Amino acid sequence: MSDERALREEMVAICRRMNSSGINQGTAGNLSVRSGDGFLITPSSLPYDTMTPDDIVEMGFDGTYVGRRPSSEWRFHRDILKERGDMNVVLHCHSVYATTLACHHKTIPSFHYMTGVAGGTTIRCAEYATFGTQALSDNALAALKDRKACLLGQHGQISLGTNMEGALWLAIEVETLSRIYVQALTLGEPPVLSDEEMGRVIDQMKRMSYGLGPEAEGSNDVARPRKA
């Protein structure tokens, strides 16, 4: 099986998991993956449960494509992948609690240490712009500066990853954090962790590859394996 075919099959599987996990509904949301000199992206207006690997669209960074019509949000997929050489996957969804916060243009502060999984002390909310426009792409890029996730004003969320599993994991985590934050707000604005503490948290996450896969041997500096 070719590498591109394997990517296409994984994209279909991840899209279906987006819906089965509850972070996306219907034909909303989209997914792209860096491939060769361009990227692969989900097509426009095609339900994930009927989508096949052959329906995935091949695009170039010049905006040209082969196959079906690409997602209407192809611009921010292209621009993010072009700008962020450290990331290979862009996942966009309309998860309920993240979108709830996005409707109020609320940035998620460091009210919980897990905010650090997005790469900084906050998960920003991008300014609103009409879907599918260059303005939306520009706003998303600004909100994603030094971050791996952001909310989109009155729209949804974007999560990035070096691989598809990582991007899906982060999107689910952003939704979980959003739900906790919405619920915490019913008691009032929660206290936030200091930038100094969040710096320690983020360093610890990087050292332990937190949420990104198995920890490297010796990354946990307390526990020791038993000797046989």
Query: Which residues lie closer than 8 Å to 170 by C-beta, 6 or more apart?
Result: 91, 117, 118, 148, 149, 159, 160, 161, 211
The 3-class secondary structure across 86-104, one letter per residue, is: CCCEEEEECCHHHHHHHHC
Terminus-to-terminus CA distance in the chain, angstroms?
41
| Residue 165 is among the residues annotated as catalytic for this protein | no
Query: Which residues lie closer than 8 Å to 121 by C-beta, 6 or more apart?
Result: 109, 110, 115, 193, 195, 198
Number of residues that this document lists for the chain: 228
Q: Are 39 and 33 spatial neighbours (Cβ–Cβ below 8 Å)?
A: yes
Query: Which residues lie closer than 8 Å to 84 by C-beta, 6 or more apart?
Result: 144, 160
Q: Are 126 and 140 spatial neighbours (Cβ–Cβ below 8 Å)?
A: yes
Residue 125: what are its φ and ψ, rounded to 5°?
-110, 120
- Out of 10, 58, 73, 83, the active site residue is 73
Tokens linked to 176: 């979980």
Residue 160: what are its φ and ψ, rounded to 5°?
-110, 160
Q: So which residues are the catalytic ones?
A: 73
